[in-house]
Amino acid sequence: MQREHVDVLVVGAGISGIGAAYHLQRSCPDRTYAILEARDDIGGTWDLFRYPGIRSDSDMYTLGYSFKPWTDPKAIADAPSILAYLRETAREHGIDRKIRFGQRVKRASWSSADARWTVETERAAFTCDFLFMCSGYYDYAAGYTPELPGTERFAGRIMHPQKWPDDLDYAGKRVVVIGSGATAVTLVPAMAKTAAHVTMLQRSPTYIVSMPGEDRVANWLRRRLPGGVAYAISRWKNVLLGMWFYRFCRRNPTRARALITRWLTNELGPGFDVATHFNPRYNPWEQRVCLVPDSDLFAAMRAGRASIVTDQIETFTEKGLRLRSGTELEADIVVTATGLNLLFLGGLEATVDGVRVDFAQTVNYKGMMFSDVPNLALAIGYTNASWTLKAELICRYVCRLLNHMTKTRMRQCTPRLRDSRFEPMPFLDLTSGYVQRAIDRFPKQGSRTPWRLHQNYALDLLMLQRGSVDDGVMEFSNPAPAAERGADAVRAVAAG
């Protein structure tokens, strides 16, 4: 198999991969790169999901790139607008010409003798000096659907939001959406516009807060200031507001719960049973807080077009669902908005010098690399703020690392864990089901920098933008000269 070589191989052409390409072009112009994308189009998440109402649930001033102002008046944007923004970014910077579509990366093997990765896709093989995984965090093959008894009896249609059928006509139909996460709260008001009725069926409640779909301050600033300046101010405003809200919730759970309950009671009116349907078992931000724009979910409920039921499914029936309480929910369509399957590194199988890497046994370094795994980084975003904030910090750090290696003529960089006081902790501290189902396949983190995964933009900004790349933990090396390797081999044979 012929192997093409590029200096940096980026895997994935979503928000992170396109961002990585921009930063590589800008900060490491001497390095060649290519993007391998499994699908036939760019956009990742924003191209895959096609369900009604699909939109961001964080504002576009922080989900957008730092280098490309978001100019649409909507701060909470629909998927087509986000996709158009990503396409425009890729086109403007010539990144679209660097993408190889239909190239699903399966395996990567690192050779310390060559200081190179050999990367195999289903159709080709490549070599690269640095492998930059921008593969997202979930399995594109299928979403998560729990075992639901009696589905074969149900006469209507059942679907998962990750595989939305093009031909689905739900106008005038009775719809049940199972779930209460970000997808369910998006689907319910969108489908309620034309469906006969939409019921959101949740096993347990979630925190849901509303925010204006348009950011009045950002739009005001854009009319008065140069585009880039207005965008930078709006971005920082929203970063700081988001950080404040998260901190407030984690430090004052009782007050935060009371505040959210008061908001919801005002939204839904005094007759609504907030205590049953919006009173989660956990504290705010122990799991993601869901966001709805302009109270659209609550408006659909107030108008009687949507309702919420908190109960457990006993079984599907011919006509719909029977619940543990004995309630029967009749439905023509059931949507299982029951979540994603997390997938680490896009399912990559890796070896280092012939030894398989079990990523669950590795430790995260600076939220982007893994102990004892050379020249490989992962762009992964925040769980409590917009993904792109962290993904871009990682892109910039990778560029700094590459430039440092060019300057010092080093070809291998490997984070080495030599901290005797190291205590392993789970990679993500969310108690959500989708995290808990997969966390044992993810690397660990430690309690201290650089092994700690910060969910905090300010701390990451200090560590990733200002901190030294040569921090004593990262080991820089070069392949041993061939003659030396030959002598080692002779010694090994003699000893054996």
Ligand X SMILES: Cc1cc2nc3c(=O)[nH]c(=O)nc-3n(C[C@H](O)[C@H](O)[C@H](O)COP(=O)(O)OP(=O)(O)OC[C@H]3O[C@@H](n4cnc5c(N)ncnc54)[C@H](O)[C@@H]3O)c2cc1C
Min CB(20)–ligand X separation in Å: 9
Q: How far is the CB of 423 from ligand X (least distance, A)?
A: 29
64-73: long-range pairs with CB below 8 Å, 24+: 64/231, 64/235, 64/388, 65/19, 65/22, 65/89, 65/388, 65/392, 66/232, 66/235, 66/392, 67/22, 68/92, 69/227, 69/228, 69/230, 69/231, 70/231, 71/222, 71/227, 71/231, 73/214, 73/219
Stretch that binds ligand X, among 133-141, 152-160, 217-225, 405-413 (CB under 6 A): 133-141
The span of 203-211, 219-227, 378-386, 411-419 binding ligand X (CB under 6 A) equals 378-386
Can residue 386 be called a binding residue for ligand X (CB under 6 A)?
yes
Query: Which DSSP string corresponds to 427-461?
Result: S-----HHHHTTGGGSPEE-SSTTTS----HHHHI
134 binds ligand X (CB under 6 A): yes
d(CA 64, CA 81): 11
Count of positions on this chain that bind ligand X (CB under 6 A): 33
Residue 37 touching ligand X (CB under 6 A) = yes
Instruction: Draw the binding track, 274-313, toward ligand X (x: CB under 6 A; -: no contact).
Output: ----------------------------------------
**Residue 366: which of 286, 465, 230, 267 has the closest Cα?**
465
Binding span for ligand X by CB under 6 A among 221-229, 385-393, 412-420, 446-454: 385-393
Residue 176's φ and ψ, nearest 5 degrees, are -115, 125
Burial class (CB in 10 A: 0-12, 13-18, 19+), 99: buried
What is the dihedral sign for C-alpha 147, 161, 284, 445? Answer: positive
200 in contact with ligand X (CB under 6 A): no
140 makes contact with ligand X (CB under 6 A): yes
Return the residue of 6, 8, 14, 207 that touches ligand X, per CB under 6 A: 14
Give the binding range for ligand X (CB under 6 A) out of 93-101, 112-120, 197-205, 341-349.
Answer: 341-349
Near ligand X by CB under 6 A: residue from 66, 89, 118, 135: 135
Smallest separation, CB 291 to ligand X (Å): 8
Q: Using the Cα atoms of residue 47, residue 48, residue 49 and residue 55 in order, give the sign of their dihedral.
A: negative
Q: Which residues face 99 on adjacent strands?
A: 35
Min dist. Cβ of residue 75 to ligand X (A): 11
Residues 89-128 that bind ligand X (CB under 6 A): 104-105
Q: Which residues contact 334 (CB under 8 A, 6 or more apart)?
A: 154, 156, 157, 158, 159, 175, 176, 177, 178, 316, 320, 321
User: DSSP code of 118?
Assistant: E
Q: For residue 43, give the 3-state DSSP assignment.
A: coil
Residue ranges with strand state E in 124-268: 125-133, 157-159, 174-178, 197-202, 208-211
Residue 38 binding ligand X, by CB under 6 A: yes
Q: How far apart are the first and last CA of the chain?
A: 34
Q: Which is nearer to ligand X, 128 or 134 (CB)?
A: 134
> Which of 8, 10, 17, 401 touches ligand X (CB under 6 A)?
17
Stretch that binds ligand X, among 202-210, 340-348, 423-431, 479-487 (CB under 6 A): 340-348
Which parts of 47-76 interact with ligand X (CB under 6 A)?
Answer: 49, 56-58, 63
Q: Kindly state whether residue 339 participates in binding ligand X, applying the rule CB under 6 A.
A: no
Q: In the chain, what's the furthest Cα-to-Cα distance?
A: 85
One residue of 28, 45, 362, 460 binding ligand X per CB under 6 A:
45
Between 58 and 362, name the residue whose CB sits nearer to ligand X: 58
Q: Which two tokens mark 189? A: 């008001």
Q: Are 381 and 390 in contact (CB under 8 A)?
A: yes
Instruction: Choose between 349 and 470: whose C-beta lies nearer to ligand X.
Output: 349
Q: Which of 6, 8, 9, 16 is in the footprint of ligand X by CB under 6 A?
A: 16
Stretch of 25-33, 34-42, 189-197, 209-217 lying at the interface with ligand X (CB under 6 A): 34-42
The nearest distance, CB 101 to ligand X, in angstroms, is: 9
User: Taking a C-beta distance cutoff of 8 angstroms, is the pair 297, 133 a contact?
Assistant: no
Site residues, ligand X (CB under 6 A): 11-17, 36-39, 44-45, 49, 56-58, 63, 104-105, 134-136, 140, 183, 346-348, 379, 381, 386-387, 391
